[in-house]
Structure 1
């Protein structure tokens, strides 16, 4: 396609070379094709201008805009992360419906659309990322933008019965119809979206698979995101992870890595590890759980509660099972550098990935990519992680069932080498073949097809 690629995300890369799978993938696309990347600057100013600051990327241009304190509170911390985030993660009970937050959320989206419209061209391909900008396509259409607009929803799609708890539930499908392509992580998410749309007066699923709603036609499709598996595997082999941890030669390592979020099932995970310790036989391996949980959105009340719960459970398990030379749970409430994390994944005997609800969960894929193929660890994976659709060779568990998770730990730690290799080979095939470059290519190829059809 000859048109520019235009990316929109809440934040743009900053502070040196881009890092992280998604940012690197988008950076590589824009570097190859040229284009624009719009997003917030991260600066909070009392009276932000209705204009962009320009930051030069490697072969493309970034346009950033500031938020006011009221916009940061209402748009980001409020409606995006205290309403839409819990809604999409099956926790409508945690939605904080504060007066004015929706209006501020729409104000930011309309302001961004107004600023962007002056710079867009009809043949641009606009790729908008995540729930911060669900109404943005509709706002751009109101500004007269006719370009092809795609969206990717990185988190789960809300269940139909949860959607009714959203005061603006009638607007959600209208926002969707502003896009030409509405991308989701899993087939389960696509099914949830289609269930919601089928129940709407005037919505029609056409024979070619497109949806017609309010005089617009759009597609809803699954594009499971991947990681840069080859690069992550190379990074994991550079450092001896066990040496970093100072583990005893016979000590086994179970690892969990998650942002500190109520959707991750962290308290149940620690309780399941405590159950494993309580029930293990005298000759069972001595295993330690390393749980890395960097802080996130600590201004939101629900996140303060999960931190307190997690620290209390970790303290209780350690109090019951520690001895003078061993603390079974190591809890780190801070970020860990990517190269260190890759090495620790490789050193782990078990990857413990047990969210209550997750769009995909790239930790599961990173754990698999990091393993030594000749002596791999075992992945335990929640049945509610989006990754489960691609990773059936993991040990699949119900994260609400403490006993089942404890039994899965026992099975993983006792699993013979031949079975570990067989399971890992099956998982690695998918992780390496359907990496983040495959995800980007699949999405943009679909965008190109839609742009060509529109032309």
Structure 2
């Protein structure tokens, strides 16, 4: 978003990370590019707004995990209050007819709150996660309040037509079609130029991994540690591969990079324990003195190292159980050597599958099927790998984040003029 903010002389508004008992004006950092404004949360908002309603109600609900949802009145009231506070600061920062672009499930009420303050400019929302089916959305006790608030946005963007249609269905079910905001399906892309590896560039982490791999093939997974990403499911599928096809023993290694996430939420701590137990079981069962089947890295890597990891991998394993888009899939594609590319194995339940139809599309809920698809990718002939990579690269051509942001803002401005 930085290029768009600079072009439009915009301000990025967010939480400072601190807390305060009293309301205050946002702090503006004029020296940052783009200009950033931040404010402090009230005590309890981190727990009940962010960790609570956002990540223990909306996140699992919108990703299709109703069994993980937790609804409490206290969390809902914190969500309402925090959205009002975001709207208050946005109103103070922009002119009455300026443009406000809000992002994601954390701010679904903020457009309505901003309108209630008399703001007359365009207000857009981009939802980066899935929008659920109507029957699932209706399990939310405050479904009507949330949907009514979302109708005050002039435009809402989604990554796929499926998420957009789920939203439309919820609106139609309430007989509110006449209030429908403009809907835009605009999947965000990646900039290939930022995934170019300079000749001779090899980071220390990559040197060590290459030495450990030797002639073995590499399967790579890179994810935030989140239950929606399907990490336990892909570990079980890798285990099934080794069981079903023992010829791969000592011939392939699986590197799973899991970036720490929401560690204060109990479900995420439990997921970490589950993943680490599975890794230990697989390594204990199949490992040899000179071969560790799964290398599990609970940490983040910078962009440069990730690019080299993507390029080194024979198979990119991107198998979320549900995902709004998944940029890792796109990053993997643009990082490849076109003459000798790796193979993308992609969950059909990732939003990116709508664009990346020439990946090996798989069902992560079926361990045997996923194991077969992994083996298919490992055995794929060079001509087939190059053919698929060419088609995937073409599907991503000219879809940079800069163009995505410009397209959204252009449509948003036109929508408000039409109103």
TM-score (norm 1): 0.88
**Aligned counterpart, 1:330:** 295
Partner of 1:3: none
Spell out the pairing of 1:195-206 with structure 2 (5 A cutoff): 195-201=169-175, 203-204=176-177
Task: Give CA deviations for 1:355-414 in whole Å, capped at 9, x if unaligned.
Answer: 000000000001001111100000000010000000000000001010111111111111
Counterparts of 1:199 and 1:162, CA distance in 2: 13
Report the alpha carbon displacement of residue 247 of structure 1 after superposing the two structures with TM: 3.0
Is 1:69 paired with 2:43?
yes
User: Is it true that 1:219 corresponds to 2:182 in the alignment?
Assistant: yes
Q: Distance in 1 between matches of 2:151 and 2:248?
A: 60
**Contact between 1:242 and 1:344, CA under 8 Å: does it hold in 2?**
yes
Query: Could you tell me how far apart the structure 2 residues matched to 1:69 and 1:236 are?
Result: 50
State whether residues 235 and 342 of structure 1, in contact with CA within 8 Å, keep that contact through their aligned partners in structure 2. Answer: no
Aligned residues of 1:236 and 1:339 also touching (Cα < 8 A):
no
Structure-2 change in CA distance of 1:49 and 1:429 (3 Å)? same
Measure how far apart 1:118 and its partner are: 2.9
Q: How far apart are the structure 2 equivalents of 1:40 and 1:230?
A: 31
* Structure 1 unpaired stretches of 5+: 1-25, 205-211
Q: For each residue in 1:209-246, what CA deviation from the matched residue of structure 2 results, as whole angstroms up to 9, or x when unmatched?
A: xxx22xxx511221101112221234698337752412
1:101 matched to 2:113:
no
Larger mean CA deviation between 188-197 and 377-386 belongs to 188-197
Q: What is the match of residue 5 of structure 2?
A: 30
Structure 2 residue ranges without an equivalent (≥5): none
Question: Which of 333, 340, 356 lines up with 1:368 in the alignment?
Answer: 333
Distance 1:395 1:325 in 2: 31
Calculate the TM-score normalised by the size of structure 2.
Answer: 0.95
CA, structure 1 residues 122+331, in 2 after alignment: closer, same or farther (shift >3 Å)?
same
2:269 paired with 1:294: no
What residue number does 2:402 align with?
Answer: 437
Secondary structure of 1:381's match?
Answer: strand
Q: Does 1:417 align with 2:382?
A: yes
Structure 1 contact 380–408 (Cα < 8 Å) conserved:
yes
Alignment counterpart, residue 117 of structure 2, candidates 119, 123, 143: 143
Offset from partner CA, 1:157-191 (integer Å, 9 cap, x none): 12211112111011122121110001111011111
CA distance in 2: counterparts of 1:244 and 1:338, whole angstroms: 18
For the aligned residue pairs, the C-alpha RMSD in angstroms reads 1.8
Describe the SS at the equivalent of 1:376.
Answer: coil
Shift in alpha-carbon separation, 1:137–1:237, aligned structure 2, 3 A? farther
Structure 1 pair 237/53, CA: closer, same or farther in 2 (3 Å)?
farther
Which one of the candidate residues 236, 239, 242 is aligned to 1:274?
Answer: 239
The 3-state SS of whatever aligns with 1:288 is strand
Distance apart, 1:33 and its partner CA: 2.2
CA–CA separation in structure 2 for the residues paired with 1:148 and 1:104: 26
Distance 1:57 1:117, change over 3 A: same
SS in structure 2 opposite 1:308?
A: helix
For 2:208 and 2:329, locate their aligned partners in 1 and report how far apart those are by CA, in whole Å: 21
Q: 1:244 to 1:111 in 2, by over 3 A?
A: same
Residues 182 and 415 in structure 2, CA contact (< 8 A), matched pair in contact too: no
| Cα separation, 2, equivalents of 1:28 and 1:244 | 36
**2:204 matches 1:229:** no
| Alignment match of 2:90 (pick from 116, 133, 137) | 116
Q: Distance in 2 between matches of 1:413 and 1:35?
A: 46
- Structure 1 position 306 matched with structure 2 position 263: no
Q: Distance in 2 between matches of 1:193 and 1:236?
A: 46
Query: Are residue 39 (structure 1) and residue 30 (structure 2) matched?
Result: no
Aligned residues: 417
Q: Deviations over 1:264-297 (max 9, x none)?
A: 1110100101111112253787111100111111
Shift of 1:428: 1.0
| Gap change, CA 1:60 and 1:280, over 3 Å in 2 | closer
Q: Answer yes or no: is the 8 Å Cα contact 1:295–1:333 preserved in 2.
A: yes
**Cα shift readout 1:1-53 (whole Å, capped 9, x = no counterpart):** xxxxxxxxxxxxxxxxxxxxxxxxx111121221222111122x242432101
- 1:132 paired to 2:106: yes
Residue 286 of structure 2: aligned partner: 321
What residue number does 1:397 align with? 362
